[in-house]
Amino acid sequence: MKTIMKQDFLNLFKNKPIMMYLVVYPPLLILVTGFVFQNLFDQNILSSYDYYGVTMLVFLTTATVIILPELMFGSHVKYANFRIIYSPVSREKMYLSKIIVAFIVPYILLSTYVLIFNYFGIVNYGGNQVLNLIFIEFFLLLFSITFGGAFCVLVKNEDLSTKVLNLVVNILAAISGVFFPIYILGKNIAKISEYSPISMVINTIYEVIYDNNFSSFIPTIVVLVGFSALFILLIHINYHPEKYGKE
Amino acid sequence: MIVKNNLYRMLKEKSYLVLAVLIIPITIFIAVYVATMAPTDLTIGVIGSESFKDTNGVSFDKLSEDDHSISDLIRGKYDAYIIEKNGTYRVETSKGNGLKKQIESFLKNTQEQKTGSIQKVTIYSTSLNLLSLALMIFSLILYKYYFDERRGINKRIIESTISSSRYVLQHVLTVFITMLIPAVIATLILFPLFEIKLKFAYLFTVSLIVCFSSSFGIVLSSFMKKNQGALLVGTMLTVITSLLSGSLFSIVSNDFIDKLQIILPQKYIGILGQNIDQNANLSISSIIMIAVIVVIFLVISIWKNDKLIRN
């Protein structure tokens, strides 16, 4: 399992676009949105950097759905996977090591950015209580990563599923609460969106940062963990690397 | 020839065709739906006073002290809070100073004041901007066949009588056709459903967006090694340039951004959308600017492909 993980780490680091997505994009996006939307916010309560710092973090975390499919079935590993399935390694170890790698790298990078932005006061991620946010980020990332994997094993086409996921995440972001408060779209839509895990997370983060209200902290985490467990179960049932090398 | 072959391949491998047929109309549907959404009333939470009654465009919710949560304000559930203590009012809002002043003057006058300014028509521009965001990303997906040929088939094709410019242009044309047909059909069907007037200028701008998106796709694909990479980098570029162009959301303006916007095609698409909203003639300079950008993109990708094949 260690060997598989080591190789997957290397694969991920060598994948320039994904690394760029994780290293360059987060600070760029947070700074650009914060700068561009300055006028929309009254500085007394929160600045545009504080608002978009949180929503963009959530957006970037959901956008990590594409990483696990790439590691599980990407073109470099398709044939390597064949070798692994012939060796005496259990299937669980194979996908678990990929999930762990796909999880650790973004988590470390995103958390580092959260700590840096928080430390220098660019974005209010909760000041001294920033660890709460990093804690909830843990579960949101787990949710996104396993969601990507589950979607991919269901569609059975790595190429197509990453593309669809990418497009869907971006369109949803453009029309949902990530770029502007969801209530602009009317109360009914806002009510519906409150049930989506993403907006649950955003709400919980704001409640924790600004109202010191932890009432939805545990329920949100329970929901995220529940979904993640379901997705891992789907991966467990459907992950058969031998079916992905035909092309 | 390549167009024919690519379309044939698409028919054989249905998933991409299904994607085009499904995703483009859904995007147009969402875009139009969002654009036709009526601007909502202001909702103001009132704490400690009973004297406010819902007026035109403003609704007041009476709240207790405990409900006073800042996160509701940030999420936009309430646009502002009015807090009464011993006869004086305090206004709290997270939105720009304009709203705060508006509410404060409303409190002073207690006369009915219209908060909603003149309602503007933005259906066409909003839907066009959302569409360009989606199509720019989508065109990158459709360049799959171009990348499939990178493994060597492209060399064989070029060594036949086809020049590299025709080779590139045919790939662009394939993507152009695959995006344009669903986009036009979906517009023709969905607009009457939403009771929006169909305008020729709108269809023209849609085809301009499709044209731009396909050239954007090829230029990025030419420089990237893999389709995945092109998609990721393209998404980043699309999201950031769309934000900076200020066409989808109104943004802060300063010298630097104004200058930057000159080279952003989304800016011109926004201008064309506004023209359609105002029933004005399409701005010729914007059309020319988009055309120039398309030509530049095509020339760069032809040059790059030429180099790729020679090496």
For residue A176, the model assigns a pLDDT of: 59
Chain A residues in contact with B141 by the CB 8 A cut-off are 163, 167
The model's pLDDT over B48-90, given as tens digits with 9 standing for 90+, comes to: 766 666 666 667 777 776 666 676 766 666 767 777 776 677 7
User: In the predicted model, is pLDDT for residue B229 greater than 70?
Assistant: yes
- Cα B154 from Cα A225, distance rounded (Å): 47
Residue among A171, A183, A207 minimizing CB distance to B71 = A207
Residue among A44, A174, A183 minimizing CB distance to B75 = A183
User: In the predicted model, is pLDDT for residue B112 greater than 50?
Assistant: no
User: In the predicted model, is pLDDT for residue B27 greater than 80?
Assistant: no
Most confident listed range (A185-199, A217-231, B95-109, B164-178) = A217-231
Residue B300: which of B223, B227, B244, B242 has the closest Cα?
A: B223
Strands (DSSP E) contained in chain A are none
* Phi, psi dihedral angles at B51 (to 5 degrees): -85, 5
Helix (H, G, I), strand (E, B) or coil at B89: strand
Residue among B75, B96, B137 minimizing CB distance to A206 = B75
In a 13 Å sphere around the CA of B204, the CA atoms on its Cβ side amount to 15
Strand-pair category, B88-92 with B80-85: antiparallel
Residue among A41, A157, A167 minimizing CB distance to B138 = A167
Beta bridge partners of B304: none
Q: Once rounded to an integer, what is the mean pLDDT over residues B257-279?
A: 81
Please say whether the beta carbons of A103 and A139 come within 8 A: no
Residue A41: which of B76, B94, B72 has the closest Cα?
A: B94
Helix (H, G, I), strand (E, B) or coil at A174: helix
Contacts of residue A161, defined as CB under 8 A and 6 or more positions apart, other chains included, come to: A69, A148, A151, A152, A155
Give chain B's mean pLDDT: 75
Give whole-number Cα distances, A40 to A239, B31, B143, B181, in Å: 46, 23, 38, 38
pTM of the model: 0.76
Helix (H, G, I), strand (E, B) or coil at B163: coil
Q: How far is CA A10 from the centre of its chain?
A: 20
For residue B116, the model assigns a pLDDT of: 42
Tell me the residues of chain A between 120 and 179 that have a Cβ less than 8 Å away from chain B: 157, 159-160, 162-164, 166-167, 170-171, 174-175, 177, 179
For residue B2, the model assigns a pLDDT of: 62
Contacts of residue A28, defined as CB under 8 A and 6 or more positions apart, other chains included, come to: B236, B240
User: How much is the CA Rg of chain B, to the nearest whole Å?
Assistant: 25
State the first-to-last Cα distance of chain A, in angstroms, to the nearest integer: 27
Q: What is the pLDDT confidence band of residue B113, given thresholds at 50, 70 and 90?
A: very low
Q: What is the pLDDT confidence band of residue B109, given thresholds at 50, 70 and 90?
A: low
For residue B56, the model assigns a pLDDT of: 61
Please say whether the beta carbons of A113 and A103 come within 8 A: no
> Would you write out chain A's pLDDT as a tens digit for each of its 247 residues?
777 788 888 878 877 778 888 888 888 888 887 877 776 676 666 777 887 888 888 888 888 888 888 777 776 677 777 777 777 777 788 888 888 888 888 899 888 888 888 888 778 887 777 888 888 888 889 988 888 888 888 877 767 777 778 777 776 666 556 666 655 555 666 666 666 777 778 878 888 888 777 877 888 888 889 989 998 898 888 887 766 655 4
Mutate to test the interface with A, among B74, B147, B235 (most CBs of A within 10 A): B74
Residue among B38, B134, B252 minimizing CB distance to A39 = B252
Most confident listed range (B117-121, B206-210, B281-285) = B206-210
- Interchain contact, B74 vs A37, CB within 8 Å: no
Domain ranges of chain A: 2-242
Q: What is the pLDDT confidence band of residue B195, given thresholds at 50, 70 and 90?
A: confident
User: In the predicted model, is pLDDT for residue B119 greater than 60?
Assistant: no
Q: Once rounded to an integer, what is the mean pLDDT over residues B144-154?
A: 69
Beta bridge partners of B58: B42, B55
Helix (H, G, I), strand (E, B) or coil at B29: helix
Q: Concatenate the DSSP letters of all residues of B236-259 into one string.
A: HHHHHHHHHHTSSS-----HHHHH
Tokens of A195: 């049930």
Chain B residues in contact with A182 by the CB 8 A cut-off are 75-76
Residue type, A91: R
For residue B117, the model assigns a pLDDT of: 41
- Interchain contact, B243 vs A180, CB within 8 Å: no
For residue A193, the model assigns a pLDDT of: 66
Contacts of residue A44, defined as CB under 8 A and 6 or more positions apart, other chains included, come to: B92
User: In the predicted model, is pLDDT for residue B118 greater than 60?
Assistant: no
- What burial class does residue A53 get, using C-beta atoms within 10 Å of its C-beta: 0-12 exposed, 13-18 middle, 19+ buried? buried
Mutate to test the interface with A, among B66, B139, B228 (most CBs of A within 10 A): B228
Helix (H, G, I), strand (E, B) or coil at A220: helix
- Cα B245 from Cα A36, distance rounded (Å): 10
- Other residues' Cβ atoms within 10 Å of the Cβ of residue B173: 16
Residue A174: which of B134, B7, B105 has the closest Cα?
A: B134
For residue A32, the model assigns a pLDDT of: 82
- Cα B67 from Cα B88, distance rounded (Å): 20
Residue type, B207: S
Please say whether the beta carbons of B164 and B136 come within 8 A: no
Tell me the residues of chain A between 21 and 40 that have a Cβ less than 8 Å away from chain B: 21, 24-25, 28-29, 32-33, 35-40
